[in-house]
Amino acid sequence: MNVINNIRQLRSWSTINKGTRCVLVPTMGALHEGHAALIRAAREIAGQNGNVAVSIFVNPLQFGPGEDFSKYPRTLIEDLGICRDNGADMIFAPKAEELYPTDRSILLQETSLSQLLCGASRPGHFEGVCTIVAKLFNLVQCDDAVFGKKDYQQFAIIRRLVRDLDFNVVLHAIDTMREEDGLAMSSRNRYLSPEERAEAPALRAALVAARTSWKNGERDPKALERLITQQIQEKAPSGRIDYVAAADATTLQPVSATTELVVIAVAVFFGTTRLIDNIELK
C-alpha cells in the first residue's frame, strides 16, 4: 500500500497507473466501519486488477467559524490500518499547505442545492466540499468515486458538480452504516456524552416512524416532518433540532407532484455536536 503526502508523488503514481481502473474514496480520516464499508465497496468496483485510492484530509475550507476544525479527530496511524485491511492500494494524506497555496483565490460554488438543509446553517461549507472534491478528482485521475448516503446533500451536490463540469467520473452512493441501535456511524459520534449517546438513536427511530407512516399512505411532507420533530423532541430532549425537511431526492427542493423519490433529512445538535441522518421514501 502506497502512502503519499504530496502532489508530485501523487501525479507520478497516477501516471504509472494510467490505464488501470482507479476508484477513489474521499475521507477526512478518523475512519470507522462506515468508511471501511466504502473502501470494501470501492475494492469490489475496482476489481482484482484495479486500484483503490483513499484520501485522508481534514479540509479546512469546509469548516466555518466556530466549528470543530481544530478538534476534529486525526488518527492517521489507525486509519492506515483500516485502509490496508479493507483493500486500499494508495492513501493520499497531504497537509493543508500542500493543497492550498497561501494566496489561493479560487473556490467552486454551487448555487442551488447548497442553499438548503445543511447549507442554510453552514454558509461556505459546500464551497469547500466542491473545491476539494474537484481537486481530488483532478489529482487522482480516478474513474469512479464512492460516497456514503449519510451525507445525502453532499452526494447530490457532487453529482451536480460532475454533471455541470463534465468530470469523467462515475459516482457510487453506498447505504449508511449504522450502530446496532440504529445511530448512523460518524466520526463525530465520539464527541457525545454518555447521556447524549443514549438519546442519539432517536434520529433514526423518528425517520423509520415517518417511513412507516409513508407506507401507510401519508403523503403530506409537512405531516411527516411534524411526526419526526415530535418524536425527536420526546425521545431526545437534550437535542436541538437544526432542521427536519422532506425534499426531492434529486433537486433537494420541496416535494412536488413530479417528485419520484423523497428523502427526509434531519440535523440535530447534541451540545456542540451536530449529527445528520436521512431516509429515502419509495
Q: Which residue has the cell 455536536?
A: 273
Q: Is 32 a catalytic residue?
A: no
76 phi and psi angles, rounded to 5 deg:
-60, -45
Q: Is 181 helix (H, G, I), strand (E, B) or coil?
A: coil
DSSP secondary structure string for all residues of 219-261? --HHHHHHHHHHHHHHH-TTEEEEEEEEEETTT-SBP-TT-SS
- Cα–Cα dist 109/24, whole Å: 22
For residue 34, the cross-strand partners are none
- Cα–Cα dist 108/158, whole Å: 11
CA-to-CA dists, residue 278 to 120, 221, 247, 270, angstroms: 17, 14, 11, 17
- Cα–Cα dist 234/45, whole Å: 42
> What residues are annotated to the active site?
35
